[in-house]
Structures are given as structure tokens and as C-alpha cells.
Chain A
Amino acid sequence: MMLPVQAPGVFTGGANVIAVLILLAEFGMFRQALLRDQVRLYMAQSALISVLAVIVAAARHIPDLYVLAAVSAALKVVTIPLLLRRLLKETDPAGAPAGGADIAGSGGLGLASTILLAIVVAAFGFFSASRLGIRAVAAPITALSVSVSVVLVAFVLMIHRRDVASQAIGLFSLENGISLAALVVAASLPLILEVALLFDLLLAVVVFGLLIRQHHGRARSMSTADLTRLRG
């Protein structure tokens, strides 16, 4: 007879559920057809990171994490989406509400095939991370495996989508995966370092926003297909 897998307990289970939801948000980005929805999903994913930070802070008594959760929420849930929308106002089609730029159908593969591919990549991330034997400090170790999957799936998103907006947001959500990993292995990292990293992200957002605007201004589309013509 097979032995049942023991339940991990309420804190670990809850933290893992949130980690898995972060991964599912990453998968959800494959489906979004509008820039606005993509940004919203990124907001939701970032909000989940903050929620997880608060849970870990409360359960493990690490007060620094409350501050980190607040700063991260202020930056990733409020500032970055606002900034992106402001920067990408020019890409809105005439008459459509803000963020209505169509980024659908930019994938190289069908959606169902991409999801299957991403599942394989995520499985690789899951199991390779669990082989590393890293000891978790604060959050459950499964969350580390999930974070590696988030990073890898974000890579798939960036490779798969042929529009600049998804590629940029794929990169930002990749940073979310790294934040998740940081929560697991280095929850007690000095706060100043974490905040510095977050402001690095802000810089990346501004640079990417300007690049997208530039690209859209020249090519009149979000697609990177036109860039191939630049080759020698």
C-alpha cells in the first residue's frame, strides 16, 4: 500500500498556495490579449508577493518584511502600472480606452501548445530546484521551486510572444519570481538591499517604457516582426 503524503500544515500550505497562484498568474499572461489586461495581471501577481511577504512576516516574526511588503506593493502594484500606462498612452488605438493596444495573436505557437511547453519547463524548474538542497530560512522550500518555475515560465513568455509589451512585462514578472525566491532563501536580507533592487526595477520600467514607445512610434505596431528587416 502506498503511504499518503502528509499535509504540510496551515502556514506552509497557505504560503505554498500563494506561491502557486503567483505561478498561475505567470501562466495567465500567455492568454491576455490586451496590454491593459497584461498590466492588471502583473499588478495581481505583485500584490500576491506582498501578501506572501506579510504572511511570512507574521508567522516568522520578521518585522522587516512588513516594510518590504509595503514598499513592494507601493512600487509594483501602484507606481509601475501607472508609469507603464502613462508611458504607453501613445500606443492606445484611437477611441479605445486606455491600455487597449492589441497584443493578441503575437505568439509563435498555439496557446494550448505553449501552455504544455511551459508546463514542461515549469516541471524542470520544480524538480531541479528541489535537487539543490537549499535550506529555507523563512518561507517553505516548495516556494523556492515555484519561484524557479516562475522565472523559467517568464522566459518562455518573453521568447514566445512577439510583441514588445509582453516581453517587457515578462521581464518584470521574472523579477517577481526572483522576489519570491528572495523571500524564501533570504528573508532576513538587509532591507536597504531589497529596496535598492526594487528601485532598479523602476529604472528598468522607465527604460522599457521608452523603448516600447520608440518602437511603436517607428513601426506603428507592438510586434517585433518588423525588426527582422534590419538584418544586414
Chain B
Amino acid sequence: MSAALPIPVIQLFQVLTIALAAPGISGVIAKVEARLQGRRGPRVLQPYYDLAKLFRKEALAPEGASWVFLAAPLAAFTCYLTVPLLIPVLTTYGLPLGYMGDILGGGFILSLASFLVAVAALETSSPYAQLGASRAKTFAAITEPVVLFVVFTVGLITGTDLPYALAATVRSSAGQIIRPAHVLAAAALFMVILYETGRIPVETHTGTNEFGMIEEARPFEHSGPYFALLRWGSAAKQLILYTILINVFVAPWGLAASAQAGAVLLAIVALLAKACVLGVVVATIDNSFAKLRLFKITEFASAAFLLAVLGVFTLYLGGG
């Protein structure tokens, strides 16, 4: 029997796992994508080297930009590190700080981060950064109803809106996994995640085509450590969203049910393995579909909305 870890340490591990593993997951996706295209691709650890390089560079701010421009990356990164406290990253049981906020609370913190980055982009008076920020906010307004309907589904299924409760419900029986409401909500959430992480069919993740950019265009004017924080933050956001999909909706298995060090370690490994599998799926989608034209993104969002709404309908009919 391994020693039991103190609860605050486990809570810390949740944050550290997300923060330290996030660039690695981005690296895995980039590598898999390159292999699927017949390229050798960058090293899996390349995002870490990029971050290390950026942290050593000097930081410049555009003329006329206020302190908000420099504070936003720090504040946004703080937001991204707060969310792992609220969601089941490693444990099946709620940690003390896990009840600070429900699913909506986590969503608000993520939107706050995205809002801060958008404000910083507006500070720059650079056309591309502003274009990206404005588009990101426009489409976020369209994907927001989808997220709300997914939350309604969770609320109707569990009677609460705590992510831990849904994960426990999904684990409880096979009937919970196959019920249409759950399948539809998970699919809708996956589509929102494709949008939020800037993947095909919404946006090319690695391209340099400014006109097609949404999320990627926002940190155009940041440099040095601030740019590094924004890059790291968007990688952390990606892993957070993957964790929500995996550990709350699709595969909440492998989480630690106790505070034993071995169980927690296993949970870290399991989470990273599951995130890599999801990353491979995302990379495959990246390679199989074309990017949608900007004005077709509403169609993508309406498809996700359709799934989420049907999920709530079937629940109301009693057959969901």
C-alpha cells in the first residue's frame, strides 16, 4: 500500500498536471498530424523548447498600449490554472476547492480569460489582432447557446450541475452511456471544443493565413514572455477542454478513487494517455476535412446546436 497524499497536494497536482502536460499534448497532436501527412514533423517536445526560447526573449509593447496589454496574458494564464481546481482531473471524489464553482463557473472563468486576451488585442491597434479578437467574440456568442444546452442536459441527467456528479453518473451503468441525451451532449461538446481550440473545420491551427485566423491571430502583437504565456495558456485551455470531455463525458475511468499516491500517479498517466487518444482523433479530423469558409462557421455551430437541443428534447420525452 502506498502512502496517502494530503488533499491539498492532490489539488496542486491537478493544476500542475494540466500546466506541465499541456504543451506536450499540443506537441503530440502536431507530430501525429505531420505523420498523417507523410512529414516527419516537429519533436513532441518542441512546444517546450518554443516556450523556453520565448521566455528568454525581450518583451516589446506597441506604442500607446496601456498596462492592460501586459497584464492580460498573466491574468488569462491565471484563469486557465484556476479551472483545473473545479473539474475532475485526477480524482473521482470532489476536492475541497472543487465545489467553488459548477460547470457554468468553469465556463465563466474560461470566457473571462478569452475576454482579457481580446481586450489586450484591442489595445494593440493592430488590424489582425483586432480582427481575430472580434471574430473570436462573434463566434463565441454563437457557440455559447450550445454550451448552455449541454449544461442543461447535464443538469437534467444528474439533478446538479457539478462535473463530478456527471462523471459518477456515467460510471454507474451502461444505460447511462448509451442514453441519447448523453451521446448527443458529448458530441455537441466535442464540436464546441474543435471551435474553441481553433481546429479544422473552423481554423487551421498552424497556418499563417491571416484572413482565416480567429484564435491564433489574437496574440500577434505580444512578444517574449508575454507571448509565451499566451501560447502556454491556449495549450492549457486545450487540455482543460479535453479533460472535461474525457473525464466528465466520454471516459471517466482511471481516476483515483482514493488519496493513495499510486492511484493518483495512475490517474495522471491515464489522463495523459486518454488526452493523446483524443488528440489523435482531432489530428485525424484535421487531416480529413477542409477548413470552412468564415461565413460557413455558423453552419458548423448550428449543427452543434442541433445535437445539444435534441439531447434536451429526448430528456423531456423521458426516453433520453
Contacts and interface: CB of A to CB of B under 8 A. Distances in A.
Interface string B176-212: 1011110110000000000000000000000000000
B266 interface: no
B180 A17 contact: yes
B313 A5 contact: no
A7 B180 contact: no
A119 B319 contact: no
B159 interface: yes
B158 interface: yes
Contacts of A147: none
B141 interface: no
Contacts of B181: 5
Given A8-B175, A24-B306, A13 B180 contact: yes
Nearest to B183: A17
Interface string A101-134: 0000000000110011001001100110010000
B178 A142 contact: no
A12 B319 contact: yes
Contacts of B156: 2, 4-5
A16 B310 CA distance: 11
A2 B154 CA distance: 12
Contacts of B157: 4-5
A130 B317 contact: yes
Contact of B178 (A4, A13, A140, A145): A13
Given A2-B159, A4-B169, A112-B298, A140 B319 contact: yes
A25 to B, nearest CB: 12
Contacts of B316: 126-127
B159 A3 contact: yes
Nearest to B300: A112
A142 B311 CA distance: 12
Given A10-B178, A112-B299, A126 B159 contact: no
B115 to A, nearest CB: 25
B318 interface: yes
Contacts of B176: 7
Nearest to B166: A4
B191 to A, nearest CB: 13
Interface of A, secondary structure class, is helix
B98 interface: no
A10 B172 CA distance: 13
Counting chain A CB atoms within 10 Å of each CB, the highest count among B156, B173, B305, B306 belongs to B306
A14 B306 contact: no
B299 A31 contact: yes
Contact of A16 (B155, B174, B303, B314): B314
Contact of A10 (B155, B158, B174, B315): B174
Given A1-B159, A27-B306, A119-B306, A7 B319 contact: no
Contacts of A119: 305-306, 309
A2 B155 contact: yes
B320 interface: yes
A146 B313 CA distance: 10
A192 to B, nearest CB: 31
B287 to A, nearest CB: 20
A16 B179 contact: yes
Nearest to A111: B299
A130 B317 CA distance: 7
A16 B299 contact: no
A156 to B, nearest CB: 13
B302 interface: yes
Nearest to B153: A5
A55 B307 CA distance: 23
Contacts of B178: 10, 13-14, 17
B179 A145 contact: no
A70 interface: no
A145 B317 contact: yes
Interface string B126-168: 0000000000000000000000000000011111100000000
Contacts of B179: 7-8, 13, 16-17
Contacts of A20: 180, 183-184, 310, 314
28 contacts: A2-B155, A2-B156, A3-B159, A4-B156, A4-B157, A5-B157, A5-B318, A5-B320, A7-B176, A8-B319, A10-B178, A16-B180, A16-B320, A24-B307, A24-B310, A27-B303, A111-B299, A111-B302, A112-B301, A112-B302, A115-B303, A122-B310, A123-B309, A126-B313, A141-B318, A142-B314, A142-B319, A143-B319
List the 7 closest pairs (A to B, CB-CB), nearest first: A142-B319, A4-B159, A7-B175, A13-B178, A112-B302, A13-B179, A112-B298
Given A5-B320, A8-B175, A126-B316, 5 more contacts: A2-B160, A4-B169, A115-B303, A122-B310, A145-B319
